[in-house]
Amino acid sequence: MMINRTTIQNALEAIPFFILAYSVRLLPRTLALNFGRYLGRFSRFLQPARSRTAYENLKRAYPEYPESWHKGTRNKVFEHLGISAVEMLRLDSFNSKADLERYFQFEGLEHLDSLRATPTGAFFFSGHIGFWETGTFFLGQLGFSADFVAKTIRNPFIDQFFLRQREAGGGHCLDSKNGARRILRALAQKRQVCVLLDQHISKKQAVIVNFFNRPAYATPIIPQIALKTGVPIFPMFTYRNPDFTYRVIIHPPLQLEGPETAENIQRHTQTLSNILEKAVREQPDQWFWVHRRWRKSAEIRQIIVPPTTTSPPAETSNSSGEDQ
């Protein structure tokens, strides 16, 4: 059997990753996460463009704060990302009720009672805040059959590693490519679908929302499908505590109402963006500020052409359509 050149290249590229991953997995948890903190701190100097993006985003989002705060928060963001990277490599180490009780504190858990009493399809809506990936563990422990929309990693060896990490807790990953169809199928099976709403999306698939007082492209997929199917939306955010435990905030469910018009979809997408912004403001050093969330073309389009996204539901992929 002949192995093609692409497979060999992917294997060679994956070797350094697996050496790091399994080295980190051998360390005690606290030592490993502190290593991630220093790794993130050091990585800022290796990624000057991302460091600059984070700093500029923070300045524009919090113009009332001094420069020392912007720089200090940017530095904490990189430490947070380093910790998160190590946490992701060890995600399957959470595997029991004892881990749930030891590491997780819940606020608003009662909001899930209705969903637990009468299982139905629902959205769990979140963003890249804190360590969002823990939902793949704690939702299963809480008794929910949750699916997680995720982008496929280009290297198949690394992709399979992260897939195993995410599905170790009993959840199931949905490829964001053709995501709308997969989401509708999961909801029809009375499963809960977790979607992160805070990444840039192609302007052809997006509506424009106000996010930190700046126009940004956002996917309208949750309002589109929720209006079509009537499923509830549960906002939920996971913050990391200083001692490496987690605080999970679960908000009351939203039941969207109204016709499936462009204006209504726009309004509800803005509502979700407002919830997301409030969650980021709760712990700004635990959000993904290194991402180019805001694009100049969104500002131009907001002025010239109001968003008119309608059915069919937009796909969830954010891997293409970048503005030039």
Inside any domain, residue 226: yes
Q: How far are the Cα atoms of 97, 110, 134, 183 from residue 205, in angstroms, in the given order?
A: 40, 35, 28, 16
Task: For residue 126, give the amino acid letter.
Answer: S
Q: Which residue has the tokens 């704060």?
A: 65
Inside any domain, residue 158: yes
| pLDDT, tens digit, 9 for 90 and up, residues 99-133 | 999 999 999 999 999 898 887 899 999 999 999 99
State the pLDDT at residue 322. 39
Inside any domain, residue 224: yes
Inside any domain, residue 134: yes
State the pLDDT at residue 308. 42
Domain extent, residue 184, equals 96-304
| pLDDT, tens digit, 9 for 90 and up, residues 237-285 | 999 999 999 999 999 999 999 999 999 999 999 999 999 999 999 999 9
Q: How far are the Cα atoms of 6, 19, 153 from residue 158, in angstroms, in the given order?
A: 14, 12, 7
How many domains, the chain? Answer: 1
Inside any domain, residue 126: yes
| pLDDT surpasses 90 at 169 | no
Using an 8 Å Cβ cutoff, are 155 and 15 in contact?
Answer: no
Of the candidates 183, 199, 43, 207, the one whose C-alpha atom is nearest the C-alpha of residue 122 is: 183
What's the distance, Cα to Cα, between the start and end of the chain in Å?
42
State the pLDDT at residue 116. 85
Read off the pLDDT band of 212 (50, 70, 90). very high
| pLDDT, tens digit, 9 for 90 and up, residues 29-74 | 999 999 999 999 999 999 999 999 999 999 999 999 999 999 999 9
Read off the pLDDT band of 299 (50, 70, 90). confident
How far is Cα 247 from Cα 110, in angstroms, rounded to an integer? 15
- One DSSP character per residue, 133-165 reads GGHHHHHHHTT--EEEEEPPPSSHHHHHHHHHH
Inside any domain, residue 28: no
Inside any domain, residue 40: no
Inside any domain, residue 41: no
